[in-house]
Amino acid sequence: MTRGWDLVVVGTGFGGSMVALAAVRAGLRVLLIERGRWVDRDDSAWDPRAILIDRKYRSASPFETPSYPFGRTRFYPDEAVGGKSVFYGAASFRLREADFRLRERFPDVCPESVDWPIGYAELAPFYDEAERLLGVAGVPGLDPTEPPRATGYASTPPPFSAPARRVADAATALGLHPFPIPLAINFTSTDGRRPCVQCLTCDLFPCKIGAKNDLAVTVLPAAIAGGATVMHSTVVVRLRLEGKRVAGVECVDVTTGERFFEPCRLCVVAAGAIPSAALLLASGLGAVEPNGAWVGRCLMRHCSGIVIGIFGSRTNPERVFHKQIALTDFYFGHATGRGPAGPWGMIQGLQVPPPEYIAEEGGFPLGSVGARTADRMVFLLCIAQDLPDPANRVEIDAGRADPYGAPIPRVFHRYTRRDRLARSALYREGARILRRAGALIRVRKPINTFSHAVGTCRFGHDPAKSALDPWCRFFGVPNLFVVDASFLPSSGGVNPSLTIAANALRVGRHIVAEWGR
């Protein structure tokens, strides 16, 4: 089947959607292939049982991690058109200027890091554009480590709700500088869409009314209006190489099981940090010398955890959205030089999950107790920057396949001692804030997911040390780009989506300049 695509993009997350929009606007014929489907914007979208317990959007293709000392654990991510943006918390942060020079700044702490081949100034205009496309609401000038910005935000988030106000007052009393999280949420509705009703089912859920500015309601409709085609419910199982070029992609239709081939002039892999590495390995790109050795290596995922404060009375009597507050006072460590050395990260408010989910997750009896006290809780998310380590990696198990015949990814990941120390340091500061706010009990809970997975195909100048060149082109395969969370050489201490989006717009512009009609 030959439809003559200029560009085939695998995946419709932040990387894939942004590249596709840039390309289609320049007149390229673009096909986006996505294994998930469009989510239903009906009552199920805000139903904790449907989304979190019955897992309506659960992928049929797992990845595995070893369970120490024996066995394996299988993770089944959610999948949908728009990627994780559909389920995400919409926190939209820029990296800090010094994040681009980690090795230079902390040479003893970060020996395995490579500095970024670009600096903040090169990404800044694309951060502006990504914020515009994603309708980010924020307040500039309050974040103490905020990098310079040429523009303000398009809109302002609503005032702090009771839980966020409680944390803000306590943090301010301790001499810290809390500020509102920049959020990709439509609070003011200038484009005819329904504005946010500030519900309690945002992070982890699709937005039933489409007020979260996920890619399926913002960038993808714009790309489709510009002429792009989205082929959903279709899994790319292999890139077909002819000589040193990608000739096209081998696909499976999830509904019918039909196998087919889509030829292309240019291929962008944007399937997410773990699936992209697995797809490249399954396509033989690990054997390309010398950069193939870096495919799958240096997986990072942030060393994150939650400090849960339990108070004597209800913390959110109005029962409204409260993922609102952030602190970067400890981003590069403690002002007094108190350890650990190297970057720490940030603390931010997190929505308390629904009681039925707490009960399910926590098991008996802890989950039941947690569910009954959920309305007295405040959650603070600690995002510690984890450092790259080549031993943390994605491999494929060629002997075992998923339902579509693709090899199952195996993920090996261990935090370094310093990663854990950075998280502990943030826990300590988060607990101090919650104590000051009046929390009677403070509990620490590590996050064990791969929701912030990055780094498996890092970009750089040197093919002996990175998989991709500074334009995210695979060294040695001129018509192949990898443009998702995989490209990051370091994880930074902020949520990754805005950086993935900005970089994809940057690469999109380069692709258009080189390949446009």
Minimum CB separation of residue 135 from ligand SF4 in Å reads 11
Minimum CB separation of residue 201 from ligand SF4 in Å reads 6
Residue type, 339: G
- Residues that contact ligand SF4, how many (by CB under 6 A): 12
- Rounded CA gap, 426 and 446, in Å? 12
> What is the helix (H) or strand (E) element at residue 305, kind and residue range?
strand 303-310
- Partner whose footprint covers residue 222, from ligand FAD, ligand SF4, none (CB < 5 to 8 Å by kind): none
Q: Does 53 bind ligand FAD (CB under 6 A)?
A: no
Site string for ligand FAD, 192-211 (x = CB under 6 A): -----------xx-------
Minimum CB separation of residue 452 from ligand SF4 in Å reads 19
Q: Does 180 bind ligand FAD (CB under 6 A)?
A: no
For 126, phi then psi, to 5°, come to: -80, -30
Pairing, β 5-10 against β 259-269? parallel
Q: Which C-beta is closer to ligand SF4: that of 211 or that of 264?
A: 211
Minimum CB separation of residue 292 from ligand FAD in Å reads 19
Instruction: Verify whether residue 461 is a known catalytic residue.
Output: no
Q: Does 182 bind ligand FAD (CB under 6 A)?
A: no
Q: Within its chain, how far is the Cα of 6 from the centroid?
A: 27
5, 7, 13, 160: residue in contact with ligand FAD (rule CB under 6 A): 13
For 295, phi then psi, to 5°, come to: -65, 125
Interface stretch with ligand FAD, choices 161-169, 266-274, 349-357, 430-438 (CB under 6 A): 266-274
Q: Which C-beta is closer to ligand SF4: that of 30 or that of 39?
A: 39
Contact between residue 322 and residue 163 where contact means Cβ atoms under 8 Å apart: yes
Q: Does 269 bind ligand FAD (CB under 6 A)?
A: no
> What is the helix (H) or strand (E) element at residue 121, kind and residue range?
helix 120-133
Residues present in the chain in total: 517
Q: Does 252 bind ligand FAD (CB under 6 A)?
A: no
Q: Which C-beta is closer to ligand SF4: that of 135 or that of 460?
A: 135
Q: Does 451 bind ligand FAD (CB under 6 A)?
A: yes
6, 47, 79, 129: residue in contact with ligand FAD (rule CB under 6 A): 79
Pairing, β 30-33 against β 229-231? parallel
- Rounded CA gap, 58 and 388, in Å? 29
Pairing, β 179-180 against β 229-231? unpaired
Q: Does 389 bind ligand FAD (CB under 6 A)?
A: no
- Please enumerate in sequence order all residues whose Cβ is within 8 A of that of 149, keeping only pairs 6 or more positions apart, or say none: 94, 124, 127, 128, 140
- Rounded CA gap, 497 and 85, in Å? 8
Query: 484 to 513, contacts with ligand FAD by CB under 6 A?
Result: 484-485, 495-498, 500
Evaluated on CA atoms 328, 331, 337, 338, the torsion sign reads positive
Site string for ligand FAD, 109-148 (x = CB under 6 A): ----------------------------------------
The label of the residue with tokens 């994605």 reads: 394
- Residues that contact ligand FAD, how many (by CB under 6 A): 37
Q: Which C-beta is closer to ligand FAD: that of 312 or that of 405?
A: 405
Query: 182 to 241, contacts with ligand SF4 by CB under 6 A?
Result: 185, 196-199, 201-202, 207, 209, 211-212
Residue 330 DSSP code: T
Using H for helix, E for strand and C for coil, what is the string for 92-115? Answer: CCCCCHHHHHHHHHCCCCCCCCCC
Minimum CB separation of residue 353 from ligand SF4 in Å reads 13
For residue 125, is the peptide bond before it cis, meaning its omega torsion is within 30 degrees of 0? no
- Rounded CA gap, 490 and 504, in Å? 17
Q: Residues 302, 334, 413, 452: which is the catalytic one?
A: 452
- Please enumerate in sequence order all residues whose Cβ is within 8 A of that of 499, keeping only pairs 6 or more positions apart, or say none: 94, 95, 123, 127, 488, 492
The token pair that represents 517 in the structure block: 């009609």
Q: Does 271 bind ligand SF4 (CB under 6 A)?
A: no
SS3 43: helix
- Partner whose footprint covers residue 388, from ligand FAD, ligand SF4, none (CB < 5 to 8 Å by kind): none
Q: Which residues are catalytic?
A: 452
Applying CB under 6 A, which residues contact ligand SF4? Answer: 185, 196-199, 201-202, 207, 209, 211-212, 321
Applying CB under 6 A, which residues contact ligand FAD? Answer: 10-15, 33-36, 79, 83-85, 87-91, 203-204, 235-236, 270-272, 275, 279, 451-452, 484-485, 495-498, 500
